[in-house]
Structure 1
Amino acid sequence: MRIGELAAQTGMTRDTIRFYEKAGLVTGRRLPNGYRDFPPETVVWLQYVRTAQTLGFSLAEIARHGAELRDAPDSAQALSALFEEKIRIVDVRMAELAALRAELTARVGIGCPLQADRAS
């Protein structure tokens, strides 16, 4: 399938697909006329990529785990393990943000601490 048809079926732009190709997320072969040709299963894979991004996975994470998920005998189990790891990462980030929020809240109304240090 050519890139235009792939774009139409996935709702992505040709530029996005080219970017994903450059990043190694999809592979299309070149036809003699120079056009890209993608296998039909690329549609499902790109939908997976979009869903994974929505769930907070980076393109690097998707690329890193994509092959293992496609080849996993029980992909639901493999996905669950990735989701659990992502939840741990989110929990750590939430704790960091809560600490940052507390620090900022404590500083509200006290002025700029950098100016106070300069006056010393």
Structure 2
Amino acid sequence: MIVTTGLKIGEVSKQTGIAIGALRYYESLGLLQSDRGDNGYRYYSPEMVQQVQFIKKAQALGFSLEDIHEVLHVHQQGDLPCEFVQALLQEKIEQLEIQIQKMAAFKSELEQYRDRWSTTQLHPQPGDICPLIQTVSI
């Protein structure tokens, strides 16, 4: 008979504000570990609450669960993953810069349509939904 102490999944959920389903998902990805009692319940160490809070904060910074898994792996090997985190963060910044440039170009394109359409005389044809949108080339 295994005697397990620790926090049940519901207690971890209450302490962290993370849904039970999400905690199970995190565990399936290897982000969390639990022990199973004879009753089949998952029991988490108190450190897992801190780990869930870490996951939430890392996600708030834009890190994917895969990124977080890698960071936790470095930590579990006994290394401080801060340099790795800084490298990941730099990649995120570079990706954001590319997205910002793409979004600015798209915004400019939309503004051109808006300006052109503001002076367009509409001559709808039977069956047209919106003649303005129909002028857009894809």
Conservation of the 8 A alpha-carbon contact between 1:49 and 1:62:
yes
Q: Which moved more, 1:67-76 or 1:9-18?
A: 67-76
CA distance in 2, matches of 1:92, 1:72: 35
The size of the alignment, in residue pairs, is 118
Root-mean-square deviation over aligned CA pairs: 2.4
Say which SS state the counterpart of residue 37 (structure 1) adopts: strand
Conservation of the 8 A alpha-carbon contact between 2:71 and 2:84:
no
Could you give the per-residue CA deviations for residues 2-44 of structure 1, whole angstroms, max 9, x where no partner exists?
Answer: 1122112212222221222233321222111000012222111
Higher helix share: 1
Query: Is the aligned partner of 1:94 residue 2:100?
Result: yes
Which residue identity does 2:105 align to in structure 1? Answer: A
Moved over 4 A (4+): 111-114
**TM-score normalised by length of structure 2:** 0.71
Say which SS state the counterpart of residue 87 (structure 1) adopts: helix
Structure 2: 5+ residue runs without aligned partners?
A: 1-6, 118-130
Structure 1: 5+ residue runs without aligned partners?
A: none
Could you give the per-residue CA deviations for residues 72-109 of structure 1, whole angstroms, max 9, x where no partner exists?
Answer: 63332222122111111111111111111111111114
Query: Is the aligned partner of 1:14 residue 2:33?
Result: no
| Alpha-carbon spacing, 1:117–1:90, altered in 2? closer, same or farther (3 Å) | closer
Query: Is the aligned partner of 1:81 residue 2:87?
Result: yes
Per the alignment, residue 115 of structure 1 pairs with: 134
CA distance in 2, matches of 1:3, 1:49: 16
**TM-score normalised by length of structure 1:** 0.79
CA distance in 1, matches of 2:39, 2:80: 40
Percentage of identical aligned residues: 32
**What's the CA shift for 1:61?**
2.5
Say which SS state the counterpart of residue 108 (structure 1) adopts: helix
